[in-house]
Each structure stands twice: as structure tokens, then as C-alpha cells.
Amino acid sequence: VKVVVVGNPANTNCLIASKSAPSIPKENFSCLTRLDHNRAKSQIALKLGVTANDVKNVIIWGNHSSTQYPDVNHAKVNVKGKEVGVYEAIKDDSWLKGDFIVTVQQRGAAVIKARKLSSAMSAAKAICDHVRDIWFGTPAGEFVSMGVISDGNSYGVPEDLLYSFPVVIKDKTWKFVEGLPINDFSREKMELTAKELTEEKETAVEFLSSA
């Protein structure tokens, strides 16, 4: 069985679900950060006047919350038939390190404010994308964002957290994308969201032990 958790706080709910069902391998649990991933792709596409399908390898690090870190340092975009890095294509570092990140982090709240309803269809589409990739695998040369157990990661994220990483999937098994260089700006954002997840986990464990 594969378990996908969507209800918020998705990461911590997924971790607790995993701990509550120890007979299921931890790796079979994942939580949805694909909606954030899709939103990040869309913001880049809108900025460049291309389609979201022209953008690949954005990363959502960490929690499905306002501390998540949408990272485009390793992302590529197809502009007029040529694949270039997003930083090179946009040529606006202050936007990429500022408004872009905030927009993706706050998008869910902005949609609720505008519609008085959640972005249910966008979430449904993201769940379909997430499950399709688990089943069929990720395309060659592409990775996706998924909240998975942090055990054994090479990015310094504490063990035993349900944290969003870049992953590739083959034969219904995900693997961390390894070896991506992480700059100081990214490291700080990744640690901030890990800290929030650690605190959420402690609160949940404390609450469940007293229940």
C-alpha cells in the first residue's frame, strides 16, 4: 500500500500516520507538496511568458506551510527551444529571492481570501500528478517534490521528519536527488522549515502521549 496524506498539517500528519502503522514501510508514506511545486512552476512560467510544462526541476523543501522553501537554483526552463537555468532566464535575483518565494508560500491563503473557498481542484490535480509519478515514475532528467521520510538524506535535514525533498521515482520507489549544491541562502531557508517541522512533531507526540 502507498499512503498519501493531504490534510494539514500534512507533513506531521503523515509522520504520525506512519508511526501509527509500523507494519507499513516508512518509505510508503508521502505527503503532498506537489501543489506548491506546481505553483512554483506556474509563477516562473507566468514571469517568462511560457507554459508550466516548459519549467522543470523546481524544488519545494520542507513543510507544506508558509516556511516552505521554493528553490529554483537547479530549475530549467525551455525558452524558444533552448533549455536555460531559471536564474539566467529571469535575470532578476531580487524577485526570485523575494516576491517569488513569498507568493508560493502564501498562495493557498491568497486563494482562500479571493474565493472564500480553498483551491480544491488545484489540490486534486496535484494529487493526481503525485500518484501518477509514484505509479509510472518520473520522466528522464526530471525530479519532483514530495514530502517523504528524511532518514538517510544527504542535505543535513534531521532524521525522522516528514520533509519535502526533490525525488526521482522508478519502479514505484522514490530516491532522493543527491549531490545538488546548496548555497548559504538556501541552507538558511531549509533549516528554518526543518525547525518548524521538529517543533510540530514534538507538539504532536506530546499531545498524543497525553491523549
Measured CA to CA, the distance from residue 46 to residue 52 in angstroms comes to 8
Is 64 an annotated catalytic residue? yes
* Strands of the chain, DSSP E: 3-5, 29-31, 55-56, 59-61, 69-71, 76-79, 82-85, 144-149, 162-170, 173-176
Measured CA to CA, the distance from residue 76 to residue 145 in angstroms comes to 15
Measured CA to CA, the distance from residue 130 to residue 89 in angstroms comes to 27
Neighbours of 106 (CB within 10 A): 12
Distances (CA, A) of 24 to 10, 28, 103, 180: 18, 7, 36, 30
Of the listed 37, 64, 74, 130, which one is catalytic?
A: 64
Neighbours of 132 (CB within 10 A): 13
208 backbone dihedrals φ, ψ, rounded to 5°: -70, -35
Distances (CA, A) of 117 to 55, 113, 188, 211: 28, 8, 33, 32
Give the catalytic positions in this structure. Answer: 64
